[in-house]
A = this chain, B = another copy of it.
Amino acid sequence: MPRFVYDFAEGDRDRKDLLGGKGANLAEMTNLGLPVPPGFIITTQACRAYLAEGTEPSGMGDEVTEHLGRLEAVMGRRLGDPDDPLLVSVRSGAKFSMPGMMETVLNVGLNDASVHALAERAGDERFAWDSYRRLVQMFGATVLGIGSEQFSAVVEEAKTAKGARDDLDLDARDVESLVDTFKAIVRTHAGRDFPQDPREQLDLAVRAVFDSWNSPRAHVYRRQERIPADLGTAVSVVSMVFGNLGMASGTGVAFTRDPASGARGVYGDYLQNAQGEDVVAGIRNTRPLTDLEALDKVSYDRLMDIMTTLERHYRDLCDIEFTIERGTLWMLQTRVGKRTAAAAFTIATQLVDEGMIDLDEALRRVTGAQLANLMFPRFDRDAEKKLLTTGMNASPGAAVGAAVFDSATAVARRRRGERVVLVRRETNPDDLDGMIAADGILTSRGGRTSHAAVVARGMGKTAVCGADELDVDGAARRFTTADGVEVGEGETISIDGTNGEVYLGQVPVVASPVVSWFEGTRPETAGRECVGDDLVDAVARLMRHADGRRRLRVRANADTADDAARARRFGAEGIGLCRTEHMFLGERRELVERLVLAETRDEREESLAALLPMQIEDFTALFRAMEGLPVTIRLLDPPLHEFLPDLTELSVEVALARERGASDPVREELLTAVRRLHEQNPMLGLRGVRLGIAVPGLFAMQVRAITRAAAALVIDGVAVQPEIMVPLVGTVQELASVAVEIAAVVAEPESRVDGDPVPHQVGTMIELPRAAVVAAQIAETAEFFSFGTNDLTQTTWGLSRDDVESSFFSDYLEQGIFSVSPFESLDVEGVGYLVRLGAEQGRRTRPDLELGVCGEHGGDPDSVHFFHEVGLDYVSCSPYRVPVARLEAGRAALPPVT
């Protein structure tokens, strides 16, 4: 027979499974000898049994009786004793905190008789009736399911009738009368009287807490937070202490360090003559906790001691709730406290310096998400702002600039030294120049996985997307808010990618000191042992420790020498993905368009010959920036349509020209070609290696540029490690066919150094489910694999990244079908299975096969842990994500906590 009830003294903090978080910590404090009001815990197992059977498990009632009896003995009072009643609170407490999701009932044990005894004992009649009122109200709402507004309306009426400003203006008689009215409400709405039997009150309150596990809002919360649905909640039954017994009583919350900055000191709030829910409800203004020293020095000193004890015991920042009942301090709750990103880093290193934890443990206590958070510039919190609208926080940071509505204007203004924010209904690859020129991107359509958001995150640019109240009129060069405010080209706006807010005018920005340090413009306090609250020092120490621990190497996705140089400053150990299609936009796009549309070999050769010197220049710059480190270059992989005019726009243009009698044969012919090449699903069409095979000479030209650039540099004494990557391979035959072409180019004299081939590797992306499945075959030809988890996610799920966000994706996230977009954090069960399979199969054929990942996921903290676990050699991500990946790679490599 399992036990269903534990006294506080019987538990400890490691039994959150059974006792819930709140209960386990109350037990821990009890065992530390701290002043916790006595009580007991009904276990989550009892809850699970109750929910399964619809009734309390046999034996539970008797155990409650036994523990209640012991509690009564300790307290010297009996529950509901009409002469000196014991009162208890009944609180939920699950393994994982679910704030506000479940129920609490205070003052259980009061009834028509004992209320008088309480009044007498407290020497405060109003207090006693108010306690009873609270019980009837909480019980009615929580246990009997009566809407709280029924009760609060009555209170408001009473206050109005009396002209009272505050609850405290109601006197004992007023409150007593409220109790009568509340009991009548119970009778009317629940069809039963408020139970006078204290044990019935207790049992029904416990049931109500159990039942609250299955409330709809709890279900939704758990689904969103991926908390298992079958854990159940524990119930704490705690003897009541009262902070509302006059001005020598009170209640407060406190942190052992500043949860905002991590600074050492006393942080908290205190409210005299109040109960906990009054603090939460914000009915009256709290006072800083330091004021308590003057009000009640004994309790204050005791509290300071307890906080030191707790922090040393938990070896971490704790937050606590306490109550002072007529000069006696009681601890009502503690837990390891939430904190900001900055505080997390600062506190972790402080605790190391204080000898409480080691560096491994410190590293466990910070996250890549927190680091990423610290890397964004922010708007000055205190500045005045005029909010225009709020969209999705698609890419964090703070950007200020002139609103511009097209790419060309963005580039032009940027060249004049202006800062600009590009405003579009949505973006597409043609906007890339404008996005590069802009400090921020604002769109009225699409969300966190739209083109604008993905590209902006990749570039580390601030973006607010899907601000759907905005009417963006690109042609008129203005947008209009829901309130009718018009903002035209050149007007300054400020966008906050961290919360999605858009402001009119310039809001002052605070730069990230952490980025300044990475960039080398702010030196770390090198040499001296750092001891303090300095955030940059803390980050630097933990980054160094992470680098020492990690096994995964971190590379960057970079297409230009500038990006590569920045990535290196951020610690990148090579380029894991150079997307050559990004080299073909802007002025060169036309060459590619001509190449794709070429109908004769001569036309094709001409375009290729024009592109070769440009590509040699591209790769030379890139190799120089990454001297001595590997550079993985993906051969051209555009969806075809990105290099062709839009079919719909061109069709309209040609139709209008015909209508006007001004047909242009060149445009007509172009339309025919575009129609011929148009694909229903370009993502599943003529791309990657397929394009390389369909357009003879294209890949050879790129490989020629790579090997010639590399050979020239080697001759100049520059170390290069080019890795040639073939995209979208589904079968080894495709790769083998391209490998033959590559070998022929490598054999050309200009690709050689002293007659030997320039050092290089040939490998492939694994970005189709089939490639993962037949990886053992592909590894016969490939010298390295790079998992393209963006495309692999698209095909594994059958979801287009470009399309889904605008339609059902948000429904899915809301309904908890997705807990997070699989494009943001790797879907370990589905896509991860294929990554693992591909890695295992590939290494089976070629044990030294180099394995990396170059999707967006390479910089996602959760995903980095998975990639470490699967045994990849490196992750590659956007330059701004490199520090995040380094940190998480270090955390992933930490030994398990024993």
Contact = CB atoms under 8 A, between A and B. Distances in A.
Interface residues of A, number: 60
A659 B653 CA distance: 11
Contact of A681 (B690, B803, B815, B817): B803
A811 interface: yes
A770 B830 contact: yes
Which applies to chain A's interface (DSSP): helix, strand, loop or mixed?
helix
Nearest to A793: B770
A647 B651 CA distance: 11
A549 B676 CA distance: 49
B799 A830 contact: no
A368 interface: no
A523 interface: no
A769 B792 CA distance: 10
A694 B808 contact: yes
Interface in A631-684: 647-648, 651-652, 655-656, 659-660, 676-677, 679-684
A833 B773 contact: yes
Contact of A816 (B733, B803, B817): B733
A808 B693 contact: yes
A730 B817 CA distance: 10
Nearest to A660: B659
Nearest to A639: B680
Interface string A807-829: 11001100111000000000101
A389 interface: no
Contacts of A800: 679-681, 684-685
Nearest to A646: B648
A512 interface: no
Contacts of A684: 681, 683-684, 794, 798-800, 803-804
A730 B797 contact: yes
A807 B685 contact: yes
A798 B730 contact: yes
B774 A795 contact: no
A656 B659 CA distance: 8
A731 interface: yes
Contacts of A737: 815, 817
A736 B680 CA distance: 31
A241 interface: no
Interface in A249-274: none
A767 B798 CA distance: 9
A796 interface: yes
Given A659-B659, A681-B681, A684-B683, A770 B796 contact: yes
A81 interface: no
A768 interface: yes
A830 to B, nearest CB: 4
Contact of A656 (B655, B676, B799, B831): B655
A236 to B, nearest CB: 33
A791 interface: yes
A135 to B, nearest CB: 38
A220 to B, nearest CB: 13
A88 interface: no
B791 A798 contact: yes
Contacts of A648: 647-648, 651
B769 A795 contact: yes
B830 A773 contact: yes
A734 interface: yes
A654 to B, nearest CB: 9
Nearest to A677: B807
Nearest to A799: B684
Interface in A99-148: none
A462 to B, nearest CB: 25
A400 to B, nearest CB: 31
A685 to B, nearest CB: 4
Contact of A811 (B676, B694, B773): B694
A728 interface: yes
Interface string A390-430: 00000000000000000000000000000000000000000
A686 interface: yes
Interface string A678-709: 01111111100011011000000000000000
A27 interface: no
A802 B678 CA distance: 11
Nearest to A819: B733
Most buried by B among A769, A799, A830, A831: A769
A834 interface: yes
Contacts of A811: 693-694
Nearest to A695: B808
Nearest to A733: B817
Contacts of A655: 652, 655-656
B683 A730 contact: no
The interface centre, meaning the residue of A693, A803, A812 with most chain B CB atoms within 10 A of its CB, is A803
Nearest to A675: B648
Interface in A811-865: 811-812, 815-817, 827, 829-831, 833-834
Interface in A755-812: 767-770, 773-774, 777, 791, 794-800, 802-804, 806-808, 811-812
Given A685-B804, A808-B690, A811-B694, A797 B817 contact: no
Contacts of A733: 816-817
Nearest to A809: B690
Contacts of A679: 800, 803, 807
A826 B777 CA distance: 18
A647 B647 CA distance: 10
B659 A769 contact: no
A796 B815 contact: no
B794 A769 contact: no
B681 A829 contact: no
Contacts of A797: 730, 768, 770
Contacts of A817: 693, 731, 733-734, 737
A795 to B, nearest CB: 5
Given A681-B683, A682-B680, A796 B812 contact: no
Given A681-B683, A737-B815, 17 more contacts: A652-B652, A656-B659, A659-B659, A680-B681, A680-B683, A680-B800, A681-B800, A681-B803, A683-B798, A685-B800, A686-B807, A690-B807, A690-B808, A694-B807, A694-B808, A770-B797, A774-B833
Top 10 nearest A-B pairs by Cβ distance? Answer: A684-B800, A770-B830, A769-B769, A681-B800, A694-B808, A679-B803, A733-B817, A681-B681, A681-B683, A648-B648
13 contacts: A652-B655, A680-B682, A681-B802, A683-B684, A684-B800, A684-B804, A693-B812, A730-B830, A731-B830, A733-B816, A769-B769, A770-B830, A774-B829
